[in-house]
């Protein structure tokens, strides 16, 4: 859109309070110094007093503080860079995974294979602030969410948000939010829970029936559980282990998230991972508009179908290897057997997914698969232990027994890459054989992962 059309889009979306635009932009009011989500229930300000920003971080960087009523910390992410294979896209993902909590901007640039200066230019040109400022603002927004929605102490919130000290947290929060943590908690009108329960907002449409059926059909007993309205599983993340449940809220644009963790240190990164797991930051209205017009009437296109994730790249790799040349049902049975034999017991009989060293050191005699498949699984697990960057998925092609389908499947479901087309997939081939006319995948760029799901849904 050109500048004039963009302005008119923002103005109409703000006045409509349509949740489909929640998180795509933010409105700042010059007379109050506050910025809001476009769904804010407060009385709409006069247009001459409004400024528009594409991210909460940009609004904060301009000197505006977040609204205590609509709480911009709860808005879905605005992934305007999705669909472009750029260094910026990967940099954003690494920052969300905590790259700048433990390392420097220079180290991040080195991981990306670009210069420190170029990385800063990418952030300035795309969102108007530096990489470090963006990372710190995201940490502060998450802390604000915890102040509103939980009874965690401020010290625990500082740790959970990725800060190393309470003093550093207080200074950073006040500078970026325009309020102290204690004032946010005092002025919060919400009823915080004794349990760790958060609201995870998304932009409609959301096809819960499809996501529920997809996950239920593939759930691994002992590791995952599923009912009509919720999904849960155990997990490990670095030195943290625990379990979560998400609960679907009918006629709402958020899920309830219930969490139990061994400690709070990685809470911010874990919640981010859960958001990615259920594709909560996808702009489905935009994706559906592009894909639906490509599909003939007999294709039975369904709106709001999200990319269902897998917790980790290692787990996704194991599931993909076990799923080679067998049905989904058989793959689930094999994965369940692996978890039952090698997964550590966590709580109430629930299991954790086996670690790479555990699989490497097992003969895998309990799996009814060819020896060549067992060798692939063990070689993959050993490689995953030894590699400096095991998530460089294209390097997996050097492991005997792993081909393009396996790598692309993991890119789509674990890394949540939006433009993966599984052209050699048997399910897609079957669908193409039954339809007189099928969508051209080249016209679906940059959302071919979602087209893959639509094919599977046929």
Residue 53 burial (10 A CB sphere; 0-12, 13-18, 19+): buried
Low-confidence stretches of the chain (pLDDT < 70) are 1-5, 78-86, 189-195
Q: Quote the pLDDT of residue 4.
A: 60
Tens-place pLDDT, residues 360-381: 999 999 999 999 999 999 999 9
Distance CA 123, CA 135 (A): 11
Residue 170 burial (CB count, 10 A): 16
Sign of the dihedral defined by the CA atoms of residues 123, 128, 130, 131, in that order: negative
Q: Quote the pLDDT of residue 1.
A: 46
Q: Quote the pLDDT of residue 81.
A: 44
What is the pairing mode between strands 34-36 and 65-66? parallel
Nearest residue to 259 via CA among 327, 195, 318, 193:
195
Distance CA 37, CA 203 (A): 12
Q: Quote the pLDDT of residue 194.
A: 54
Domain boundaries, the chain: 3-73, 311-389
Look up residue 203 and give its DSSP letter.
P
Residue 159's Cα: distance from chain center in Å? 21
CA atoms within 13 A on the CB side of 108: 30
- Check if the beta carbon of residue 138 is closer than 8 Å to that of residue 186: no
Residue 436's Cα: distance from chain center in Å? 36
Question: 48 in the Ramachandran plot: left (φ > 0), alpha (ψ -120 to 50) or beta?
Answer: alpha
Look up residue 325 and give its DSSP letter.
T
Q: Write out the two tokens for 90.
A: 């990967």
CATH number of 3-73: 3.40.10.10
Q: Write out the two tokens for 279.
A: 């594709």
Nearest residue to 162 via CA among 14, 259, 260, 268:
268
Sheet holding 34-36, edge to edge: 50-53, 26-29, 34-36, 65-66
Nearest residue to 204 via CA among 244, 163, 249, 168:
249
Q: Quote the pLDDT of residue 268.
A: 92
Q: Quote the pLDDT of residue 263.
A: 87
Q: Quote the pLDDT of residue 16.
A: 87
Q: Using a cut of 0.95, tell me whether the model's pTM lies above it.
A: no
Architecture of domain 311-389: Orthogonal Bundle (1.10)
- Check if the beta carbon of residue 63 is closer than 8 Å to that of residue 33: yes
Cβ-proximal residues to 188 (8 Å cutoff; 6+ apart), any chain: 68, 147, 148
Q: Write out the two tokens for 283.
A: 């702009």
Tens-place pLDDT, residues 395-442: 999 999 999 999 999 999 999 899 999 988 888 998 888 888 888 899
């Amino acid at each position: 859109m050109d500048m004039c059309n963009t302005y008119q889009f923002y103005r109409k979306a703000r006045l409509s309070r349509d949740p489909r635009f929640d998180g795509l932009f933010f409105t700042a009011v010059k007379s109050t110094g506050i910025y809001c989500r476009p769904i804010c229930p407060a009385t709409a300000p006069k247009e001459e007093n409004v400024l528009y920003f594409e991210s909460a971080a940009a609004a904060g960087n301009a000197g505006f503080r977040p609204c205590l009523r609509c709480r911009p910390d709860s808005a879905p992410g605005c992934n305007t860079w999705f669909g472009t294979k750029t260094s910026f896209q990967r940099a954003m993902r690494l920052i969300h995974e905590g790259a700048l909590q433990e390392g420097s901007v220079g180290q991040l640039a080195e991981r990306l294979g670009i210069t420190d200066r170029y990385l800063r230019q990418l952030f300035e040109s795309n969102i108007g602030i530096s990489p470090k400022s963006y990372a710190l603002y995201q940490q502060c927004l998450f802390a604000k969410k915890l102040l509103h929605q939980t009874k965690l102490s401020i010290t625990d919130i500082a740790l959970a948000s990725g800060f190393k000290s309470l003093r550093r947290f207080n200074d950073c929060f006040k500078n970026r939010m325009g309020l102290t943590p204690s004032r946010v908690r005092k002025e919060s009108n919400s009823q915080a829970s004794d349990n760790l329960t958060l609201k995870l907002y998304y932009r409609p449409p959301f096809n819960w029936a499809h996501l529920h059926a997809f996950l239920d059909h593939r759930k691994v007993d002992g590791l995952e559980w599923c009912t009509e309205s919720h999904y849960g599983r155990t997990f490990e993340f670095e030195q943290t282990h625990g379990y979560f449940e998400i609960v679907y809220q009918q006629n709402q644009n958020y899920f309830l998230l219930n969490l139990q963790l061994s400690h709070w240190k990685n809470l911010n990164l874990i919640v981010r991972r859960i958001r990615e797991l259920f594709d909560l930051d996808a702009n489905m209205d935009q994706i559906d508009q592009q894909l639906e017009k490509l599909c003939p009437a007999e294709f039975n296109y369904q709106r709001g179908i999200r990319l269902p994730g897998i917790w980790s790249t290692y787990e996704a790799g194991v599931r993909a290897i076990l799923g080679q040349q067998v049905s989904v049902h058989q793959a689930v049975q094999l994965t369940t057997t692996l978890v039952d034999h090698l997964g550590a017991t966590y709580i109430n009989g629930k299991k954790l997914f086996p670690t790479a060293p555990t699989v490497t050191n097992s003969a895998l005699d309990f799996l009814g698969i060819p020896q060549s498949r067992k060798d692939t699984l063990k070689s993959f697990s050993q490689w995953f232990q030894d590699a400096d960057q095991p998530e460089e998925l294209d390097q997996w092609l050097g492991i005997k027994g792993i081909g393009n389908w396996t790598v692309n499947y993991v890119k789509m479901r674990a890394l949540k890459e939006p433009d993966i087309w599984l052209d050699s997939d048997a399910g897609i081939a079957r669908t193409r054989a039954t339809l007189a006319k099928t969508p051209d995948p080249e016209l679906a760029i940059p959302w071919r992962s979602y087209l893959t799901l639509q094919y599977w849904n046929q």
